[in-house]
Amino acid sequence: MIQEPIANLLDAMGAEALPCIHNEPLDRHTTFRIGGPACVFCKPRTVVELARTLELCHSFGVRTYLLGNGSNTLFADEGYDGAVICLTDLKTRSTAQTLPDGKTRLTAGAGTLLVSVCNRALELGLTGLEFAFGIPGTVGGAVYMNAGAYGGEMKDVLSKVTFLDENLKLQTLPVKELALGYRTSIFEQRNWCILEAEFVLEPGNREEIQAHMQDFMARRREKQPLDMPSAGSTFKRPAGCFAGQLIEQCGLRGFSVGGAAVSCKHCGFVVNTGGATCADVVELTDKIREIVKEKTGHVLEREIRVVR
């Protein structure tokens, strides 16, 4: 556990106190509504505050977890014995620059909700991000896992990403050096903190862009259990098929452990029916994996991140 003196240092770094809460319940900060308390929960407002927080934690051996909107995260019931650093209040630049070829370079901070970036692109009449409308994460989280939907992925529109490296030095890499693959990126293997992303988008027709966004959102409402707490798609898509279809074929619609259940609306989602614990979700997903492997031969891999 974090020693009290270190927590106090996090409380008062520099002239202005860093927004910091002790023993903050993490179920308040994830879309699954599951998780015990974080020893320290910080919301830095500037890159300087963020870097100083990370530096202090590193120097005292305090482990850290970078959090966005919490849409793909499952925290342990015991909580997190370190500092959870939430980036949603981080103030970074947001710019739009027209390029000589007519395309537009759109920059957004890591803590910005992806839906906000999609709406900004719509305002500017820019196409390319429609697929991401409705993904309930932040820009940083979407880059981290190369989020995608309806045939599009972040790698299709990203041009470069700026981040703090393991030595807290500011770095920028082009998309070709980010090892973006299916639900993965270089950031999964490195202790780097994404600060902002740059997208290059094509000019388009606003009415058509809006129609595509509304169509994708309507599909989500129709097919996904958006009315129940979840972490989105529970499993990655196996080669040549869909996880939800395999789970349904195995007769697991509605299958449950404690308060966690396979959604009756979409078998690719595990939902919190009320009072679900991390242990419930982990046990349920383990059982699903065992049954699907036994009956179909396919090995499912969890897409949600379990943080213990």
Question: Among all residues, which ones are annotated catalytic?
Answer: 183, 233, 303
Number of helices (H) and strands (E) in the chain: give both, helices first.
Answer: 7, 18
CB 95 within 8 A of CB 77: no
Q: Name the region of 242 (left: φ>0; alpha: ψ -120 to 50; beta: rest).
A: beta
Residue with tokens 């015990």: 36
Identify the CA nearest to 181 among candidates 229, 224, 223, 147: 147
Give the ranges where the chain is alpha helix by DSSP (H).
4-11, 47-59, 114-123, 139-144, 206-223, 243-249, 278-296
Q: In this structure, which long-range contacts are made by residues 283-289, counting pairs with CB atoms below 8 Å and at least 24 apart in sequence? A: 283/257, 283/258, 284/255, 284/256, 284/257, 284/258, 284/260, 285/234, 285/235, 287/255, 287/257, 288/235, 288/247, 288/252, 288/255, 288/262
